[in-house]
């Protein structure tokens, strides 16, 4: 992704990133560095070091990150501060809230997007090359309106995948071993955004996590089966499935819902209509 005003060479992009950070840096208050342990986080951490700006790095523990990623952060980035999500363990929260989907990503909102003190200027490793949706939604400097307005700085927004890996090699930066084992992006184990193949690959690699996901689906079913929605209709699960196993297999597959076919195929451009359909099915609020 090429951004207007940003030269295409890696050296020029690096200098642009440094200039951007130095422009928005505060002598008094450090940046709140959002560190996930992935390749982009590794890069922005080094870019901020080269920029010589004040920053404190934070890892917001989702409780469902790959074990290899967690160990990598522990071993290679001991200066990173670990923070605990307000709602604690992901699976306990899911049993109370309902399972997340591609269009109802409450987990991102609660486990990733609320980190940091009010008003802190955040630095993130978001890149336009990751997806068309991110390219459309993000700018290098974005106003963050959660609680107290502040800025989110995306210093490598214009960097390509090749830029990232070239920088990592040139700087000799350690990175998580999963990238050498076939993972192009690393996130929560079982993330609904990873699609059918991604979820299946995750669960084949980490079967303990699959067992936790399945148990939570069963508990959601046991808790909600036979209940009614606000408008008096049957609960989402009972309206479309005969048991938790069937509901689990549907979620795992990423297919449209049976009978109605209201949920479109996985396509980021369909998210608004998909959210509307899901709200209709779940009785409002989007929780399933």
Q: Tell me the average pLDDT across 247-258.
A: 88
Q: Does 201 score more than 60 pLDDT?
A: yes
**Quick one: average pLDDT of 101-110?**
84
Q: What is the mean pLDDT of residues 60-73?
A: 95
3-state secondary structure labels for all residues of 8-63: CCHHHHHHHHHHHHHHHCCCCCCEEEECCCCHHHHHHHHHHHHHCCCEEEEEECCC
Backbone angles phi, psi at 169, to 5 degrees: -70, -45
Strands 141-144 and 122-123: unpaired
pLDDT at 152 over 50: yes
Cβ atoms of 157 and 138 closer than 8 Å: yes
| More confident site: 105 or 65 | 65
CATH 3.40.50.620 segments of the chain: 10-181
What is the rounded distance in angstroms from the CA atom of residue 18 to the CA atom of residue 173? 18
Q: What average pLDDT does the segment 50-75 reach? A: 95
When mean pLDDT is compared over 12-21, 83-92, 116-125, the highest value belongs to 12-21
Q: What pLDDT sits at residue 115? A: 65
Q: What is the mean pLDDT of residues 43-61?
A: 96
Q: What is the pTM of this model?
A: 0.82
To the nearest whole number, what is the mean pLDDT of the chain? Answer: 84
Task: Provide the pLDDT for residue 106.
Answer: 86
Higher pLDDT, 156 or 85: 156
Q: Please give the DSSP secondary-structure letter assigned to residue 129.
A: G
State the CATH class of domain 10-181.
Answer: alpha beta
pLDDT for residue 147: 66
Instruction: Tell me which residue has tokens 């989110």.
Output: 152
pLDDT tens digit string along 154-173?
A: 999 999 999 999 999 999 99
Question: Which spans in the chain are helix H?
Answer: 10-24, 39-51, 67-76, 90-97, 106-111, 132-137, 161-171, 195-205, 207-224, 236-240, 244-253, 271-282
Integer CA distances (angstroms), 91 to 94, 95, 96, 265, in order: 5, 6, 9, 26
Residues 6+ apart with CB under 8 A from 32: 55, 56, 58, 115, 116, 117, 120, 121, 122, 123
The pLDDT value recorded for residue 7 is 55
The pLDDT, as a whole number, for residue 260 is 52
């Amino acid at each position: 992704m090429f951004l207007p005003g940003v030269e295409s060479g890696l050296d020029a992009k690096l200098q642009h990133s440094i200039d951007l950070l130095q422009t928005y840096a505060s002598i008094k208050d450090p940046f709140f560095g959002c560190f996930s342990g992935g390749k982009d986080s590794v890069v922005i951490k080094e870019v901020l070091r080269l920029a010589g700006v004040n920053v404190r790095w934070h890892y917001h523990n989702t409780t469902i990150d790959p074990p290899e990623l967690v160990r990598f952060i522990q071993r290679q980035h001991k200066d990173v501060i670990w923070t605990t999500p307000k709602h604690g363990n992901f699976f306990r929260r899911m049993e109370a809230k309902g399972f997340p989907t591609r269009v109802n990503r409450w987990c991102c909102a609660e486990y990733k997007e609320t980190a940091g003190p009010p008003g802190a200027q955040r630095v993130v490793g978001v890149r336009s090359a990751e997806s068309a949706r991110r390219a459309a939604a993000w700018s290098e400097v974005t106003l963050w309106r959660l609680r107290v307005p502040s800025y989110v700085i995306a210093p490598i927004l214009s960097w390509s995948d090749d830029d990232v890996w070239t920088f990592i090699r040139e700087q000799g930066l350690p990175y998580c071993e999963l990238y050498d084992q076939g993972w192009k992006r690393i996130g929560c184990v079982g993330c609904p955004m990873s699609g059918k193949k991604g979820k299946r690959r995750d669960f084949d690699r980490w079967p303990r996590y699959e067992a936790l996901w399945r148990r939570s689906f069963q508990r959601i079913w046991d808790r909600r089966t036979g209940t009614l929605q606000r408008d008096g209709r049957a609960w989402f699960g009972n309206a479309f499935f005969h048991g938790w196993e069937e509901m689990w297999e549907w979620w795992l597959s990423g297919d449209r819902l049976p009978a109605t076919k209201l949920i479109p195929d996985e396509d980021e451009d369909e998210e608004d209509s998909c959210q509307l359909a899901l709200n209709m099915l779940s009785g409002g609020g989007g929780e399933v």
